[in-house]
Amino acid sequence: MLLTSFPAGPLQANCYLVAREAGAGCAVVDPGMGAIDGVRAVAAEHDLTPQAVLITHGHFDHLWCAQDVAREWDCPVWIHPADRHLLSDPMAAISNESAAMLRAQLDLGDLPEFTEPADVRDAVDGARFTVDGIEFTVDHVPGHTPGTLFYRIDYPDAEDVSQVMFSGDFLFAGSIGRTDLVGGSHSRMIDSLRERVLPLRDDVVVLPGHGPQTSIGRERVTNPYLAQLVDEHRIEGSDL
């Protein structure tokens, strides 16, 4: 399997390209602000053809270039229905005051005109779809945004890794995503951690939207939010 990434834009959001091998079709995960040139460069380097865009959540630093990738390679965009409206209005995910401050801080100037890509597909909980031989499983994990998702794939290239999970801004190495933006909910975040993350195997590798990769096993021990839930389960007599 070929899996590569690069940080894009002023917020250094991780954009991932994943394919069976060089010369194959690939999925592009979270092409955010400033990502289009990186996608072109990586695709050219490995002779990849983007066949799908996968959006973990609707914040601008993760979907800014979704339309560009979809248009250039004529491919669909997968996103949860609850965040779909942000494809055409990404600043709706933050308050007007925050948007103004962000535009000034990042020197964005006049925003481009965002339009919904021609082919948008609903990535709903439990959905499975294939991109040139790689099957993706969708987990809906609201909390950071109403439509936040994980995308999981089996990873046959290493005996000590069962799956790779693209976690967006839901789960980071040592932390979790913020819940104080529009549509965020700390209680839903905790519920998603408890119900969707704790049951995963320790050998699942986590590829987050910012920062370094980690694993479920490492986060059970080092992530204070997850470790607290693990302790609660132990007290309740769970085997997790």
Whether residue 22 has pLDDT greater than 80: yes
Percent of the chain with pLDDT over 90: 82
SS (H, E, C) 149-197: EEEEEECCCCCCCCEEEEEECCEECCEECCCCCCCCCHHHHHHHHHHHH
Tell me what the mean pLDDT of segment 131-154 comes to: 98
Tell me what the mean pLDDT of segment 187-202 comes to: 96
Q: Where are the domains of the chain?
A: 2-235
Tell me what the mean pLDDT of segment 141-162 comes to: 96
- Rounded to two decimals, the pTM is 0.93
- Identify the band that residue 178 occupies on the pLDDT scale cut at 50, 70 and 90: very high
What is the fold of 2-235? Metallo-beta-lactamase; Chain A (3.60.15)
Asked if residues 148 and 56 have their Cβ atoms less than 8 Å apart, the reply is yes
161-173 pLDDT, tens per residue?
Answer: 999 999 999 999 9
Would you tell me how many other CB atoms lie within 10 Å of the CB of residue 234?
Answer: 11
96-135 pLDDT, tens per residue?
Answer: 666 666 666 666 666 678 899 999 999 999 999 999 999 9
pLDDT score at 94: 75
57-77 pLDDT, tens per residue?
Answer: 999 999 999 999 999 999 999
pLDDT score at 106: 62
Dist. CA 49–CA 78, nearest whole Å: 17
Tell me what the mean pLDDT of segment 217-227 comes to: 95
Instruction: Locate 65 and state its tokens.
Output: 């270039």
Least confident range from 87-91, 134-138, 222-226: namely 87-91
pLDDT score at 96: 67
